[in-house]
Amino acid sequence: MKKVQRFAVMLGAAYLAACHSSILTTDARLTRPQTPIAKKIPHNVSVHGEHRIDDYYWLRDDTRSDEAVLGYLAAENSYAEAMLRPVQSLQEQLYTEIVNLLPSAPLTLPVEKNGYRYRKRYEKGADYPVHTRQKILAIDAESAAEETILREALLAAGHDYFALGGYSITLNNQYMAYTVDNLGRELYTVRFRDLETGLDLPETLVGTVSQVVWANDNQTIFYIKRNPETLLGDQVYRHTLGTYQDDDVLVYEEQDKRLHTWLYKSADDSLIYIYHQGVTLGGASILPADKPMGSFEPFIPLEEGHRYEFYKSGSDYFIRTNWGAGNFRLMKVDLATRTNRSTWQEIVPGRPDVILETVLVLDRHIVLQERTNAQVQFRVIDRHNGKEKLLEFDEDAYAVYIGADTETAAITELNLEPSSQQLLVSYESLTTPVSLYEFDLATGQRNLIEKTTVRGSFDAASYTSERLFLPARDNTAIPVSLVYKKQLFHKDGSNPMYLYAYGAYGLNQEANFWPAIMPMLDRGFVFAIAHVRGGGMMGPDWYQAGRRRNKKNTINDFIDVTEELVRRGYAHSRKVFASGASAGATLMGAVATQRPDLYRGVILGVPFLDVVTTMLDESIPLVTNEYEEWGDPRLRSDYEYMLSYSPYDQIARRRYTNMYVYAGLHDARVQYYEPAKFVAKMRAHKTDDKQLLLLTDMSSGHAGVGGRYQAQWAYAREFAFILGTLDNATAAD
């Protein structure tokens, strides 16, 4: 057993024993596990002349060492495990079914860079992948031996938690810098490896974000350091191989706490740039990669309301900009006159029904990633004759990516060879496992390169996916993607449903293939994704309509979609389970406290629930970056609006529904005490006997446990909870 978990379990047993007599009657102890009851210690939160009493503020322990706090979390874990014991065999069965559907070797796109082809591979039954490279020979690329440059399993050995952030390789192909996290706190350590010897160098850089970028001298690296308290990555440092981190030079510090800071390198390796990303403004600062001792300068100075990204191709520069185009347009600029917008040349105009999401500029072609009617499409422009063509796919709802990894959608991050005339694409849908295609950019011809082989008896033809547009209360059409097994689906309102949503930060929830949901479909469930406002599925305006003082649209959309799906016969009114994680779990907390009658159960993963109290405290990690998303409660109008939906503040004495809450003790994005406080307060107020479970992983953070197979246990446990809850339904429910 992991050390911290063993300690927590011991504390949990002591905690339960200490409060045993005050929690349950003798009869209740015979039929139900002992329910943890958190003590109340009133804490006054004062703002705008108002006083809010938080009885569970004491559960916040930034050191994560307080015995009372760890004891309570362990008691909740013990209680949850006891409540889930009746479905333990079902959990094991589900895990087996899920694992049997996982491909033994998941497909990932190769990337060609500086004469090498890089790829991530999984060996049979492995939790972690192997990273390889193969030298590209002029005559026969396949004749070159493939070398292993990184084995994640070796790096993970001996650690309760492990995540590889990423890696970067010098221009001369000799040195690799890679980043690892062994706590789940997203505080990475940079390590260096000599790829000629296969050995790591003795030096390390600590407290960084996951990104690193090499200068062209093969000795200088740029990285972003996190503030250890706020966890903001706002300082860019320069490091030279063979020197101490204490001697590194601070080359940029972001003063605007609304902005996120990222590092990239242009596809032709000529520029290193800092990307400044905010909700209402964004842009870049550049440095020639051949002159690492120089200073970064703005590509175009940041301006409120203006968001842009630039792309370099030889001496040509292109800008994706929202200047004069809410859905963005593409313009060509001259480097010398780039700050004078009157000299910009429009290449692709802004369009009201098409969102220009990102751009890939190659020597002969420009690839546009667009979105229309909630669906991604790729448009290719021939740079010599201006002719355009759409790359075609076969389904109405799908997910398609250009990248070294199927989880990477932002093609601005790629290091693709600019001379390439073929485009490698990863394609999947709710019914189609990952397939790799190669498109000839000159002809648009598509060739299937590889297709995922799903083990077991999976047959894509047995399932049907749909894309619906359902009306919200203000008549806005909300996109919904769903999938079900044909033989088990009855459009008479009898099927159970698993309804998922995120709805924040302008992020998209694509129609990906999800092996873990297949055992649920095989049990008659309908799986649906509600693409509510606050996400980005319908463009920038869709995001704006669900953030800050429009956040209630996100909540209302989900409730309205639920009711409409039931009305149309896609789900039974008492068999709908709602699920979301992180910001999506804020949504789940809101619907669980506002309309618990609509759901048989609600799943809240690493949930942000105490919106007002958290956003009032700038010492909490990442808070100052979040004002543009959630609001600033120091402003009276924002405070009142946030308070009106904040799940923690909406808890009242009433009946609720079944809830399954999970968290990570070392979560850097949503602190563990958010779900802990929510569950403690909910226990003190709920008047029903529905299940309320809190499971805290004592060794992980926001992303949960590492490892491909380990992660499936979490899904199996969640689905066992759902199926057990459904089986135990009564007429009163």
Burial class (CB in 10 A: 0-12, 13-18, 19+), 452: buried
Span of 317-321, 378-382, 399-403, 613-617 with lowest mean pLDDT: 399-403
Provide the whole-model pTM.
0.91
- 168 a catalytic residue: no
Q: Whole-number mean pLDDT of the chain? A: 90
Greatest C-alpha distance within the chain: 83
> Quick one: which of 304, 291, 352, 356 has its CA closest to 329?
356
Dihedral of the CA atoms 699, 702, 703, 706 (nearest 10)? -10
Convert the pLDDT of each residue in 214-265 to its tens digit: 999 999 999 999 988 888 899 999 999 999 999 999 999 999 988 999 999 9
Q: Give the helix/strand (H/E) hosting 305.
A: none
Is residue 59 exposed (0-12), middle (13-18) or buried (19+ Cβ within 10 Å)?
buried
Could you say which of 435, 582, 699, 700 is catalytic? 582
Q: Is 619 a catalytic residue?
A: no
Cα–Cα distance, 517 to 482 (Å, whole number): 12
Residue 3 is predicted with a pLDDT of: 35
CA atoms within 13 A on the CB side of 303: 10
DSSP classification of residue 430? S
User: What are the tens digits of pLDDT across the range 500-518?
Assistant: 999 999 999 999 999 999 9
**Pairing mode, if any, of strands 146-151 and 163-169?**
unpaired
| Token digits of residue 85 | 């014991």
137: Cα separation from own chain's centroid: 37
Side-by-side strand order, sheet with 249-253: 163-169, 175-181, 188-194, 199-214, 220-226, 233-240, 249-253
pLDDT at res. 416? 62
The C-alpha atoms of residue 458 and residue 638 are separated, in whole angstroms, by 49
Question: In the prediction, which pLDDT does 304 show?
Answer: 96
Q: 371 falls in which pLDDT band (50, 70, 90)?
A: very high
Q: Does the pLDDT at position 601 exceed 60?
A: yes
Q: What is the pLDDT of residues 524-537, one digit of tens each?
A: 999 999 999 999 99
How far is the C-alpha of 218 from the C-alpha of 200, rounded, in Å?
Answer: 16
Q: Which amino acid is at 338?
A: R
Helix (H) or strand (E) holding 445: none
Distance of alpha carbon 543 from alpha carbon 507, whole angstroms:
8
pLDDT higher than threshold 80 for residue 18: no
Strand order in the sheet with 260-265: 260-265, 271-277, 282-288, 297-298
Residue that is written with structure tokens 């009106």 in the block: 644
The total number of residues shown for the chain amounts to 733
| Residue 200 β-bridge partners | 193
Question: Domains, the chain, ranges and CATH?
Answer: 313-454 (2.130.10.120)
Q: How confident is the model at residue 142 (pLDDT cuts 50, 70, 90)?
A: low
Active-site annotation holds for 702: yes
- What's the rounded Cα separation, in Å, for the pair 679 and 566? 28
The DSSP secondary-structure symbol of 157 reads T
Report the alpha-carbon distance of residue 16 to residue 36 in Å, rounded: 7
Q: Which residues lie closer than 8 Å to 306 by C-beta, 6 or more apart?
A: 281, 282, 283, 321, 322, 323
The band of 138, judged by pLDDT with boundaries at 50, 70 and 90, is low
Of 560, 564, 509, give the one whose Cα is nearest residue 531: 509
Percent of the chain with pLDDT over 70: 92
Does residue 390 contact residue 371 with C-beta atoms inside 8 Å? no
- Name the residue with tokens 């706002």: 234
Ranking 210-214, 326-330, 447-451 by mean pLDDT, the lowest is: 447-451
Q: Which of 248, 610, 667, 697 is catalytic?
A: 667
Task: Give just the sign of the alpha carbon dihedral 453, 455, 456, 462.
Answer: negative
